[in-house]
Every structure is written in structure tokens, then in C-alpha cells.
Amino acid sequence: MPAISLNPQTRFLLLGSALLTGMLILWWFVLLNPLLFLLRGAVQVCGGAVFSGRSELSVTEAPSGDWTFEVPLEATLPRSLENPTPQQMHSIDFDLARSDAGAFTFGLPVYWAIMLAAPGIRRNLRPLLLGTLAMVVLEIALLLVTAEIYAHKALAQLLPSQDPLGNWFLHFSEYLSVSAIPYVIPFAVALWVDRELREQIFHWASAAPLPAEAAAISAGNRPGKRPRQMKPARKRG
């Protein structure tokens, strides 16, 4: 039985798919809770250095697993029927679902699967370690940005006057930070830290011949050129 020969692209996709499935299973059953615990502590520590105000950023976990953020935010609520005098706010609270918080740990197993499937990673583990550190920093920064977006959304609901453009921008920013960017980061980081993987992927994209060219190459002829025809010899009188 002849051995199955796979090209590098197919081998990378098959190995990456298998590793991604295994990593996600490991993430769901083993790594999710420890990663959420570490992420919550890191966000609280880094938030104290990033946010400034009379109150400090705090993140507490409810019995349901959801997170409650208290984000420093200086604002003044105008007078209303319930509050005849303006109210000064120094922080605002909101809840973040556990599933949304878990999205900020999803990128690590995806990144590990990409890097372990990359050719040559076994000879050099530096891109794997450097990219893991970059992933941790980016995920923490992204969650802090998301907390700021959620805080401004909660504040907008308390204001009597609504800004349609501002509300649209907040909703769009929330979509990017929760539903788009966390799933793009592992692929971007993998291409950034692993030069060999980056060169091979762009080489695969540029080196794939067209079907007609591939047939011509396999036949031993250059595409676009016709074989030279011999001219008949002239008869001399």
C-alpha cells in the first residue's frame, strides 16, 4: 500500500485542527477556571495602576460565576424628579457574564494549537513562550478596555438625554472587544512572533500555481511559450 504524501499546507491544517480540538477540550474541562481566577486577579491589579480616581477598580465574583465590576468614573448626574439636586458619581457598577469573561481566555489554547502545528516549533520554543506572554498582556488590556466601554454604557443609561451616535459607537466597540478581537488576536500574534510560519504562509499563498500552469509544468513545458518549430530546408538549385 503506497504511503500517503501530504503537502505542507494540508499537513498544517490537519495537525492544527486536531490540536485545536484537543486544546479546547483541555481548556473547557481543566484550564477555564484557573485562567479566569488568574485573569480576574491580574485585571484588578493592573486596573489599579491604569484607572485613577477616588475609588479603585474592583472585580468580585458572584455565586453564579458572573463578575461584578466597580470602575472609577467621574460624572455628574443632572437633577431629576427622584433626585432634585445633581449627584456626583465616582464609580459605576456593572455585571459581566461568566461566558463573556471566558472569551478573554479562549485565545490562549487557540494560540498554542497554532504554534504547536507550525513546522519547526519543536526546534525553537522561543516563539511559543514569547507569544504566550504577548497573549496574556493583550487579553488583560482588552478586558480593561471592555470594562471602560461597559462603564460608559451603564452611565449612558442613567443620563436623561441620549446620544444616538455615541450609543452606536459604544455598541460597536462592545461588539469588537467581546465578539471579534479576542478571536483574532491568537492568529495575529502567531504570525507576528513566528517568522518561519509567517514566511511559509505567505509563500504558500504566492507559490500556488494555477491549474493550467501546473499542467504545463508537469508536462515539462513552460507556460505561455509554444515549442519552437523547425523550418523546412530550402532546396538549392
Domain ranges of the chain: 8-218
Grid cell 461584578 in the structure block, residue: 68
Confidence (pLDDT) at 146: 96
pLDDT(39) > 90 = yes
pLDDT(158) > 80 = yes
What pTM does this model have?
0.80
The x, y and z cell numbers of residue 55, run together, are 475609588
pLDDT(61) > 80 = yes
**Angle, CA 204 vertex, CA 198 and CA 207 arms, to 5°:** 130
CA 209 to CA 220: how far, in whole Å?
Answer: 14
- Over the stretch 174-195, which tens digit does the pLDDT of each residue have? 999 999 999 999 999 999 998 8
pLDDT(82) > 80 = no
pLDDT category at 2 given cuts 50, 70, 90 is low
